[in-house]
Structure 1
Amino acid sequence: MTASGKLQQGIQFLFSQFDNDLRREKCMTGMEARVRRGLWVGKVPMGYDKVIVGKDMVLKPNKTGKLIRLAFQLKAEQGLSNTDILKRLKAQGLVLYNQTITKLFKNPFYCGLISHGLLEDGEVVEGQHEPLITRQMFLKVNGLQAQNAHGYTQVKEDEELPLRHHIKCGSCKKPLTGYEMKKKQIHYYKCNTIGCKLNRNASKLHNLYEGFLAELEVDPRYLPKLAEIMEETYYKLTEESRSEEKRLNTQHTELKKRLDVLERRYAFGEIEKEMFVRYSSELKAELLEIEQNLEKCAVGLSNPKEFIKMGLEKAVTISQAWSKANVQSRKQLQAMMFPEGVYFDREMEGYRTTRVNGFFALSSQIQGFLAQKEKGKSDQNNHFSLSVVRRGIEPLLPE
């Protein structure tokens, strides 16, 4: 494959991550507005289904939702451990793991509130969906969840060990846990795999993590050129998706018109109920299918220029943002930057990862080649092949 071919393939891969990893940013005003109205955006939470009610698509609890409600009740009213609750659920046909049920217990969606990446940190809004439990029950369950068998809270440990479970052992691939050496008040990360013996000072791993993040930072002097290249590339690579979205929107509009006409004719007695039910059901099913396809293909950026500008501004101070943030914000940033976590390699005493957020990976790589060109070290025979990208910039990927 030629250098230009590798370049295009590399950018397409990175921008596919860019769409998935950063779509939740607040510059997506349309989706943010939906969330602020109490409408859920994204994958439907466990325990709910999308159902058409009249002209609207709403979220309704399903059979799994009823069992999730039972889990909350067993925790709040009987104080059962997660292990015992999991056994009860399994007996009724729902198999979950401890990590999953812990996440469910912490999700305010089940008490009628929405917490979303499109909102400010810690912000919640009143949802329009049917809640499974009361807010009082949600608060009671999370009060119990905050305590372990010895009666102390996990808050301090989370503050001191924000990378717990995010870091994985490079040898056995298991997530690292953490503990405190109480006499010295020093925290450590460790691998619990028998015989592995990976054990590192938390402060050391935090410093290494800041350095790992810093490798993806960009120099402010490259921001204008980076913004130009990334915006042009984004438009080129999302052209097909935008065309498909336009086609689906046209179909959706036509189907809505046909459904409106059908409903008016039925209201005025021009057609029988049997015919109305039959054809309206077909039209609603088609509308639902189109809406699902729109979710899949939607580019999702109402203002790519502003989006890219905001992302690049974040890329200037990623490591500082992490070091100064509270534990909740640190964990959110970690998940955004490295969606599959990072591995600690004891031989190199450093981190590696299988997946970096595509936006920041791309900006870092483009900056590297801009720097090479600036120093006169680039191969002037290699250029971007995409027609919308200006000539004279070297490819991101080597031959």
Structure 2
Amino acid sequence: MLVEEMGVHLIETCSGLSTTTERGKMAIYESLFHASKENLERKEIIIPFMKAHLREGKRFGICPVGYDHYGPRVRNDKFISRTQRIEINKDGKLLKEAWKWKVSGHYSDVQILAKLEARGLRLLPQKLSKIWRNPFYCGVLISKMIEEPVQGNWPKIVSHEDFIKVQQMLEGNPSGYQHKKDEEMRPLTRHLKCACCKGYMIGYINRIKSLHYYRCRHCKGVSVNAQTTKHARRKGANDLFLDFLDNFSVAPAVVPLVKLQLTKMFDHFNQDQTNDDTLKTQLSDLEKKRRNLQIRHGLGEIDKETYDLTIEHLNEQMQAVSKELDKEIPKVPNLDKLLEHSLGKLGKLRQIWTSSDLENKRRLQKIIFPAGIFYDAKNHLCLTDKINEFVHAASLLSQVSGEKENGNFQDFLENSRSVARSRVELETSGL
């Protein structure tokens, strides 16, 4: 079409042939035809092979950060191997820790990047964001050449469950990266929410007044100082949070009584539990039976049909015992010391928070209020709809123990007053 209709001629640079002559035209057409035929043959052979290669859980191209790719066609000589092999390297071991930090919810991407850099792995924020979203790290291969995901033949850096948790976390923060600089003066950033719209309040600084604020991006007029100033009519959000934290503090005077009741609660919820040692013994016996069965089948002492029926029965029994073991509440060694140490911490929540650095303040906030706290602009106070269960129980018992007229403090858990249901208000209300 180019030659006949538009007068555009082709010239073969290596031979000098061109379509300006009939013989040159036929030679070039024949060359193009052969090239097209070769490409078609390659397509029919190579693409099916590539798809089969991917469905076997193997990979084409370089691997992401944290892995070394061994194979017959690699650029670096030290990674040459007859078969493909993908292994976790030293950066991958650091990324394993990074995934744990991310899943815990106690660290922002800024903090994770800083911790990785301190350990020798420097990443850009955009790179870390891509890592959080790459299923390769949980051992899943996704390619445009195949219709569905495939389990890869390489070790996982993060489990499927934790990978899904991170994706759910990223839905609330699509970028996966906090662009706001961490400010010591605004420790409640990404933790303080508006009680009206339930959205996060953002932190900012008024550079003219040199004052820090939190404000809601959606609700008009919902703003509060971060710190309490000399001329302020109301307390700042940080001090409001400290006052709110005091509601869950346990006074040293009632620690022995609270510890006694918590011990009774723990014993109460464990008294009907089956002894896990018995279950472990049953599981061990079943594993021995299965192993012996496999050996007998390998020696030809039993036929395949009998083997299949018996191994299926043993597997079902093992699954049932494993489920019961999962239901068991684990035994806590040194429960008395653990309770005493934890209650001691609850008696100093204000001091611990004020003396901590930014990272530890946010960790404490996340542990006690895992879903964050809400600022009620109308009443100028902090609220919550979810609190750490241990802290909740200890604070309730502390109040009951401190007020003889409110409920009783009998020896039996059944005689204790019921706990008010949690909602978006002060957790100790309704007692």
TM-score interval for Structure 1 and Structure 2 normalised by the shorter chain = 0.5 to 0.7
Residue aligned with 1:313, SS: helix
The separation in 1 between residues aligned to 2:216 and 2:342, in whole angstroms, is 34
Which amino acid in 2 is paired with 1:352? L
Tell me how far 1:365 sits from its aligned partner. 1.6
Tell me how far 1:358 sits from its aligned partner. 1.7
Give 5+ residue unaligned stretches, structure 2: 1-54, 66-90, 108-118, 130-176, 228-235, 421-429
The separation in 2 between residues aligned to 1:141 and 1:266, in whole angstroms, is 56
Aligned partners of 2:213 and 2:224 also within 8 Å: yes
Q: State the match for 1:317 in structure 2.
A: 348
Distance 1:354 1:267, change over 3 A: same
After superposition, the C-alpha distances for 1:27-59 in whole angstroms (9 at most, x for unaligned) are xxxxxxxxxxxxxxxxxxxxxxxxxxxxxxxxx
Q: State the match for 2:265 in structure 1.
A: 233
Higher share in helix? 1
1:165 to 190, 194, 198: 190
1:1-399 equivalences under 5 Å are 111-113=95-97, 115=100, 139-142=122-125, 156-193=181-218, 195-203=219-227, 204-240=236-272, 242-243=273-274, 245=276, 248-266=279-297, 268-271=299-302, 279-280=310-311, 283-284=314-315, 287=318, 290-291=321-322, 293-299=324-330, 301-373=332-404, 377-378=405-406, 382=408, 384=410, 386=412
Which amino acid in 2 is paired with 1:225? L
Which amino acid in 2 is paired with 1:202? A
Which amino acid in 2 is paired with 1:235? D
Distance 1:191 1:245, change over 3 A: farther
Tell me how far 1:191 sits from its aligned partner. 1.0
Which amino acid in 2 is paired with 1:360? V
Tell me how far 1:209 sits from its aligned partner. 0.9
Q: How many residues align?
A: 273
After superposition, the C-alpha distances for 1:197-222 in whole angstroms (9 at most, x for unaligned) are 31222221111111111111111121
Residue aligned with 1:190, SS: strand
Distance 1:384 1:144, change over 3 A: same
More deviation, 323-332/285-294: 285-294
Distance 1:383 1:207, change over 3 A: closer
**TM-score, normalising length: structure 1:** 0.55
The separation in 2 between residues aligned to 1:108 and 1:319, in whole angstroms, is 39
Distance 1:289 1:363, change over 3 A: same
Tell me how far 1:271 sits from its aligned partner. 3.9
Aligned partners of 2:194 and 2:216 also within 8 Å: yes
The percent of aligned pairs where both chains have the same amino acid is 22
Distance 1:190 1:293, change over 3 A: farther
The separation in 2 between residues aligned to 1:347 and 1:363, in whole angstroms, is 30
Tell me how far 1:394 sits from its aligned partner. 6.5
Distance 1:353 1:108, change over 3 A: farther
Residue aligned with 1:351, SS: strand
Aligned partners of 1:175 and 1:191 also within 8 Å: yes
More relative contact order, 1 or 2 (CA 8 Å, 6+ apart): 1
Tell me how far 1:230 sits from its aligned partner. 0.9
Aligned partners of 2:193 and 2:373 also within 8 Å: yes
Residue aligned with 2:189, SS: coil
Give 5+ residue unaligned stretches, structure 1: 1-62, 74-106, 123-135, 147-151
Tell me how far 1:349 sits from its aligned partner. 0.8
Residue aligned with 2:182, SS: helix
Which amino acid in 2 is paired with 1:168? K
Which amino acid in 1 is paired with 2:367? M
The separation in 2 between residues aligned to 1:109 and 1:173, in whole angstroms, is 37
Tell me how far 1:351 sits from its aligned partner. 0.6
Distance 1:286 1:230, change over 3 A: same
The separation in 2 between residues aligned to 1:164 and 1:330, in whole angstroms, is 11
Aligned partners of 1:72 and 1:137 also within 8 Å: no
Tell me how far 1:169 sits from its aligned partner. 0.4
Aligned partners of 1:72 and 1:141 also within 8 Å: no
The separation in 1 between residues aligned to 2:183 and 2:307, in whole angstroms, is 57
Residue aligned with 2:221, SS: coil
Tell me how far 1:160 sits from its aligned partner. 3.7
Tell me how far 1:249 sits from its aligned partner. 3.4
